[in-house]
Amino acid sequence: MHEELLKLWKDQLSTRPYYWHHFIVQRSSLAVGLLVNMRKSWAQTLLVVPQIIQYVETTPLSSHELLDSLFVLFEQVSASASPSSEASSDLMKSNLQRLIVKLSAYFSISENNLNLGTASSQSLRNLDRQLPQFELDEEYRIIKMNTALLQKFNASKEALQYKPFQILFSPSSRSLLRFARQQLEKGDRFLTQLEVEAQSIDGRQFRVTLQLIRKHHGGYTGFLQDVSEVEDTANMLSLLSLAMEKVGEGIVVYEPSGEYRVLYVNEALEKLTGRVRTKIIGQHVRNLFLEDTPVFQDSNHPIYSDGGWKGEVIIKSRGKDTRIAEMHTQPVYDDKLNLLATVGILRDVTEERQSQREILALHHFIEQIFYNLPYAIFVTDEHFRIYYWNHVIEKLSGRSQKAVSRQSLKTELPEILNFVPLNIFSEHQTGKLLFKTRFNGALFGDKKRSFQLSVSGIQHEN
């Protein structure tokens, strides 16, 4: 449905003067991501907000033009709603209304000086983000900053507001800052990024990556990231890579479209397939599987779609051996909602399935023995609910096993309970004879017969 809505939205915007600056033309993946996430939840919609803000603040598209385009979208969502899609349409309209309010609040703060009342300060606090951020006026004076920046520089708001931007950096970095400023002022670029040395109010110096963005309506927005945090991230990625190598399940990462080439496999998958990764990486992912199975033959199998899938597959192992694996796939998106890859996790269940088959075969064998014995045999639980009876008792009672399954013995053979102690299961004894007696009774009609009743205890494993 989002493809149709995207087309309608694009057609409506094509007459607007800002059409060619809009991300629906310049970065269609952002427009698609917005529509897809609005259909899911407000939390998912929020993931797209930073990308929209960055787009507006680094391109000629103004905030007013953005909001106008969102109102156009709202009209299209309302007009295209049908009874079958009413719930989805209502969710999209709700998320879109909240998005318009949030972006309106953000840009109204961004385009006004901080020297306002308490309300603006409170709104700014609501926009705090994890990374240190600031805004500058045309003279490169700090007019806004978030809590993360104040904490990073061990400073109060009063100590930084309206001060020259250079106060955040050591003297050795200021020539680089002057060069970046010249590039932005000349209009050569909207954004510049460089690594410089920052300096907190108490004199502590640390390396940061600075991203400085020129806003089309005047002024600048900046972001800082401590290089040590980047190193921590690299270390974390290294640990994650090591963890992926050592987990017991096989992991395969492959292209989500096109040739579906394998990009990565871990050690467990090498063991599962009996092949080294150099023989797997670069090949079509289907080559992991047995040729006469659907996952190999069907190009429309769910593992080749952008949705997750869980099921069983048969893996080609070394020689003519095969292994049964439980496979779970999941798509991987980047922060711009571009589909990057598909990850598959495979758990070897060969022995587990073999054990299950053996148990089922044994169960069938024992059931056949019980069924063909010349005795009336039935199995109940401790509440006397019937789970099984054989063909002898079927013949005597005229009732099939299927008809009496889960029924009470009190209903089907009430006379038997006159001869069985009601507390017979209280001692929880298994594997032995619990009770034995002889009696005369009309169990299966009017005619009385002589019976010997033997009751043994068995244990049921849940």
Same domain, 162 and 259: no
Residue 397: closest CA among 378, 417, 369, 380 = 378
Same domain, 46 and 68: yes
CA–CA distance, 456 with 72 (Å, rounded to integer): 76
Structure letter (DSSP) for residue 293:
S
Mean model confidence pLDDT for the chain: 80
Q: What is the pLDDT of residues 297-338, one digit of tens each?
A: 888 888 888 878 889 999 988 767 888 899 999 888 876 677
Instruction: Take residue 205 and report the two structure tokens written for it.
Output: 């110096």
* pTM (two decimals): 0.38
Q: Are strands 339-348 and 378-380 parallel, antiparallel or unpaired?
A: unpaired
Instruction: Take residue 180 and report the two structure tokens written for it.
Output: 């970046």
- Residue 241 confidence (pLDDT): 64
The residue count for the chain: 462
Same domain, 273 and 341: yes
Same domain, 209 and 257: no
CA–CA distance, 321 with 460 (Å, rounded to integer): 35
In a domain, 360, yes or no: no
Structure letter (DSSP) for residue 437:
E
What's 332's domain CATH number?
Answer: 3.30.450.20
Comparing 197 with 190, the larger pLDDT belongs to 197
Structure letter (DSSP) for residue 136:
E
Number of separate domains in the chain = 4
Residue-range definition of the domain harbouring residue 30 = 2-110
Q: Give yes or no for residue 114 having a pLDDT over 60.
A: no
* Beta carbons within 10 angstroms of residue 124's beta carbon: 20
Share of the chain above pLDDT 90, in %: 9
Which of 110, 144, 165 delimits the end of a domain?
110
- Across 19-46, average pLDDT: 89
Q: 342, 256 in Cβ contact below 8 A?
A: yes
Which of 317, 348, 379 delimits the end of a domain?
348
Instruction: Take residue 323 and report the two structure tokens written for it.
Output: 């292994």
CA–CA distance, 371 with 365 (Å, rounded to integer): 10
CA–CA distance, 427 with 456 (Å, rounded to integer): 12
Instruction: Take residue 183 and report the two structure tokens written for it.
Output: 């590039």
Q: 183, 190 in Cβ contact below 8 A?
A: no
Q: 404, 386 in Cβ contact below 8 A?
A: yes
Reported in sequence order, the residue ranges of 17-140 that DSSP labels E, i.e. its strands, are: 133-136
